[in-house]
Amino acid sequence: MALRKENTDIGSSMESLLTSSEAPSILKQGDTVKGKVVSVSSTRVFIDLGGLATGIIYGGELEDDLGNSIELTHGQEISATVLNPETDEGYVELSFKRATREQAWQHVHQLLETGEPVTTTILEANRGGLMAKIEGITGFLPVSQLTPEHYPRVENANKELILHRLAEYVGKSFTVRVIGVDRGEEKLIVSEKAAYADQQRAELGKLTVGDAVEGSVSGVMDFGLFVRFGSLEGLVHISEVAWQRIDDVHKVARVGDRIKVRVIGIEEGKLSLSMKRLTPDPWENASTRFKVGDPVKGIITKVTPFGAFVKLDDEIHGLLHISEMGPNPVKDPNEIVKEGEAYTMKIISFEPAEHRLGLSMKIEVVKEPAAASLQASSQPEPGEAQVVAVEQTKPKVTTRKTSSKSTAAKKTTVTKKRAVRPKKE
């Protein structure tokens, strides 16, 4: 009975040991283990894995993810990744390099969760953005995630010029924030714009619509001007550059110019700016100079398929629609008007509040000398001319008697004279 009890106790002890948290676990490839350095040589390092086994790290695995050699000392505690649970010599083959890489991925995950900004050095540039390393992991900084200070504003989005601008940042330090991590695909996305989001929000909070600010032109595009002040940047659309029509904004300002603008919109971190709102609206008193029906002389500033834009003075421009270029249908406005030339037109519509003024050339298509036009318009019909002729000669007829034949002849003679039309000059 005593022997049976002893066997029972031994079985219980073994079961307890196997189920306890202190029971030795079976190591697998890819596991991360901790140990203490017990021996260091130029080619390998031995690690005590808590009495369970002895690990060995060969020279090639004694580097960090940047390729830098790691110097380990006796008694130092480290983490390593299992490459081979048991070598032919009975050691557990370990990698210090892989362990540090796993730790790096864990760290960038923490950076993603906390939103903590980090400083990194730009390694290279491509057409899509910049490459940099965070904790030894190569990350991608897209062009769209650059701050206004570093964003490459290039005419017509020329890819070669963009790449040239981006290449200038290689070797420079950028402060970024991790915005995307995919361990499986080993992808890391960072953003410079996000790193300054708090600062930009603070500066935006100080602005209100209507404020006048001064900044420098950071970009000139066909559609407008980008203006930067502080860490903020806004757009002056071409329609907000001046009250009159602007066809080429490049003639208005250049990159680096200092200009004053007015804030006209703040929406989702985007600033809308205006240059023209700093000056009075000339359309407000334009009605004192222009009225519907007035003949005006204007210079053609631009010809389009639908008509032509006309400059009436330095501030007021109008539109001559293709349908108003003549009495007959016009297929090509360039056949009727030329840019830079002056024409006389008539105002047919005027909406100052909408900044619209319509013009017509239909009244100018047929031109006649004033005298000829007046005489032609007052020319009577043949029958009416005979009556007028008789009435005009009545005083002379009543002074003496005439025969019916002479009267008839006189009527005929007068009628023939009045029926002759003047020739056009």
Summarize the confidence of residues 210-231 as an average pLDDT: 91
Residues 122, 189 within the same domain: yes
Torsion of the alpha carbons at 100, 103, 105 and 107, rounded to the nearest 10: -130
Q: How far is CA 206 from the centre of its chain?
A: 24
Contact 321, 356 (CB under 8 A): no
Distance of CA 70 to the CA centre of its chain: 47
Any domain includes 73: yes
Q: What is the pLDDT of residue 100?
A: 77
Residue 403 inside a domain? The answer is: no
pLDDT digits (tens, 9 = 90+) for 380-409: 444 443 333 333 334 444 444 444 444 444
Confidence of residue 314 (pLDDT cuts 50, 70, 90): confident
* 2-15 pLDDT, tens digit each: 434 434 443 444 34
3-state secondary structure of 75: coil
Asked if residue 4 belongs to a domain, the reply is no
Residues 357 and 292 in one domain: yes
**In this model, does residue 226 exceed pLDDT 50?**
yes
- Who has greater pLDDT, 114 or 388? 114
| Together in a domain, 221 and 266 | yes
**Does residue 56 lie within any of the structural domains?**
yes
Q: Find the domain containing 85 and state its range.
A: 28-112
Residue 21: inside a domain: no
Do 120 and 183 fall within a single domain?
Answer: yes
Q: Spell 57-88 as b/e; 16+ CB within 10 A means b.
A: beeebbebbeeeeeeeeeeeebebbbbeeeee
Residues 102 and 63 in one domain: yes
Residue 364 CA from chain centroid, whole number: 44
Going by pLDDT thresholds of 50, 70 and 90, the confidence category of residue 19 is very low
Number of structural domains (the chain) is 4
pLDDT of residue 99: 78
The verdict on 150 and 80 lying in the same domain is: no
- Residue 346 contacts residue 363 (beta carbons within 8 Å): yes
Which of 60, 93, 112 terminates a domain? The answer is 112
The predicted structure's pLDDT at residue 25: 57
Nearest CA-CA partner of 143 in 172, 119, 121, 163: 163
Q: Answer whether residue 420 is part of any domain.
A: no
* Last residue of one domain, picked from the residues 259, 278, 297: 278
Chain segment 60-76, per-residue pLDDT in tens: 777 665 566 777 788 88
**CATH code, domain with 303:** 2.40.50.140
Segment 275-292 shows an average pLDDT of: 92
- Please tell me whether residues 159 and 219 are part of one structural domain: no
Percent of the chain with pLDDT over 90: 43
Q: What is the mean pLDDT of the chain?
A: 79
Are 126 and 70 found together in one domain? no
286 and 272 within one domain: no
Instruction: Give yes or no: residues 255 and 319 share one domain.
Output: no
Residue 404 domain-assigned? no
Residue 159 lies in a domain: yes
Mark which of 364, 395, 415 sits at the end of a domain. Answer: 364
